[in-house]
Amino acid sequence: MVGVINFGGQYAHLIARRLRELGVKSELISPDVKIDRLKKMNPQALIFSGSPYSVYEKNAPKIDPKVYNLGLPILGICYGHQLMAYQLGGKVASHQAKQYGKEDLEVIKRSPLFQALSKKETVWFSHGDHVDDLPKGFVVIAQTKNSKIAAMQNQSLNFYGIQFHPEVTHTTGGMKILQNFLFKISKAKKDWSLPQVKEQIIKETKKQIGDSKVLMAISGGVDSLVAATLLKEAVGKNLYPVFIDTGLLRAYDVADFEDILKKVKFENVVIVKAEERFLKVLKGVVDPEEKRAKIAKLYFEILEEEAKKIGKVLYLAQGTIYPDRIESAAPTKHADKIKSHHNVTLPHGLKLKIIEPLADLYKDEVRKLGKLLNLPDEFLNRHPFPGPGLAIRILGEVTKERLDIVARSDEIFISELKSTGIYAKVAQSLAALLPVKSVGVMGDARTYSYIIALRSVDTLDFMTADWSKIPSEVLEKISSRIVNEVRGINRVVYDITQKPPATIEYE
């Protein structure tokens, strides 16, 4: 096992996930851990994560300096790199030249950490502080234009620090760096696989639930489908899948759900029509967090109503995955909240116990798990769709008219991506209605209509993402169709922002 000391960085769990990808069991550990407790956990190595804090801030998370006396290999990433330097006698300072996004890294000294990498690598930064002076015994092993100590090492102690993030896919040699740290430096052993995780989830779920009834909120999306199938294996006929037609769905979602029912053969399925109820609670609501809260509250009220009808239901299962939790700042008290997700923001007074079988997995892992469960590819390869639905793809108040506009625009966008073969090559695509109008000319007359923003991203883990390079002629056709076929739209724009700084969804 390799311990990941979680200082609250948005990518802390992604580090642990990358280690699993390399076949090594990993565990997130609080920086408040006692040294005696850490010894009992017997990690083969430690990795220090990033953090939204600066090391010199009063409330910045720190680890007991005795950790450096345990004889364990340590890799510090971003804040972890700075903290190691700071605690071992180096100097950390805030610079005017911040680093966010891709930069070229120049390897200037041989190091086992960079073995089999080229002298110049593209890496991903997300920080405002720098290590200015090295701790005693350390040497610089890599630099960038804006960071003279982009990586450091004390090879005799097996301590390594890097200012960039090897765990994100934008760092081209990131996996090789982690692989070098695990197997060349730490001599770690492979001890993790997805089939083991599948059996463990089923076993633990059986133990937790026993003979109790479980309500499963199922949307037809990948996450809830895989979670429901796992639960079906664990509890059989005690599973009650519930599909709520909120009116916030895309044109094809209900039909797709009915198709899923036929192929997967769930029993005890409940379908609830609730469009009018959701539109009523969203009337006049503009703030995205208030939208999410109202949707979540009503969603869970309906689930509780259905649980009462079924009778003796003790558990509510959800398809929550790790990116949902990390953006809601659930994993650690040191994390910054980005936005809440309806399936991790539970209303007060909820009487059902929550089960989240996929809460520690990423989207690509969920899809692989679905393959192990023999689910059809056409379901597993669907693009993600948020729990609050189209409500968070309408920036501003949700109305029936606006829902129709964004649903039709999305349908055109997705159908064109599928017909050109692009849909299967990108990770997620969406249409969003912007809260502004623009002047246009249609049929020799002046128009003043809404703007649709199209967004498509490439990503493996949904923690970082790059915008999809869709051919201009395809975008031109999509734009032309939306403007001509969707009443109320006279302009279409394409979003070319990476994540970070933007999130994939608009709200």
Task: Return the active site residues.
Answer: 78, 165, 167
d(Cα 394, Cα 433) in Å, to the nearest integer? 5
Q: What is the DSSP letter of 382?
A: S
- Are residues 296 and 346 in contact, defined by beta-carbon separation less than 8 angstroms? yes
The token pair at 347 is 């209303």
Query: CA 289 to CA 297: how far, in whole Å?
Result: 12
Other beta carbons less than 10 A from residue 215's beta carbon: 24
Tokens standing for residue 27:
């565990």
How is 468-495 classified by DSSP, letter by letter?
A: ----HHHHHHHHHHHHHHSTTEEEEEE-
Six token digits for residue 295:
């949707």
**Contact 182/22 with Cβ under 8 angstroms?**
yes
- E strand or H helix at 104: strand 91-107
In a 10 Å sphere around its CB, with 0-12 CB exposed, 13-18 middle and 19+ buried, how is residue 143 labelled? middle
Residue 75 three-state SS: strand
User: Would the annotation count 269 as a binding residue?
Assistant: no
Q: Is 30 annotated among the ligand-binding residues?
A: no
Asked if residue 225 belongs to a known ligand binding site, the reply is yes
Whether the Cβ atoms of residue 62 and residue 31 lie closer than 8 Å to each other: yes
Q: Counting Cβ atoms within 10 Å, is residue 315 exposed (0-12), middle (13-18) or buried (19+)?
A: buried
Instruction: Report d(CA 335, CA 122) in Å as an integer.
Output: 27
Would the annotation count 222 as a binding residue?
yes
396 labeled binding residue: no
Counting Cα atoms < 13 Å in the Cβ hemisphere of 70 gives: 23
Enumerate residues 6+ apart whose C-beta is below 8 A from 296: 340, 342, 343, 345, 346, 347, 387, 388
DSSP run (H or E) holding 456: strand 445-458
Q: How many CA atoms lie within 13 A of 106 on its CB side?
A: 8
Task: Flag whether 94 is marked binding.
Answer: no
430 is in an annotated binding site: no
**Annotated binding-site members for ATP:** 219-225
Binding-site residues from annotation: 219-225
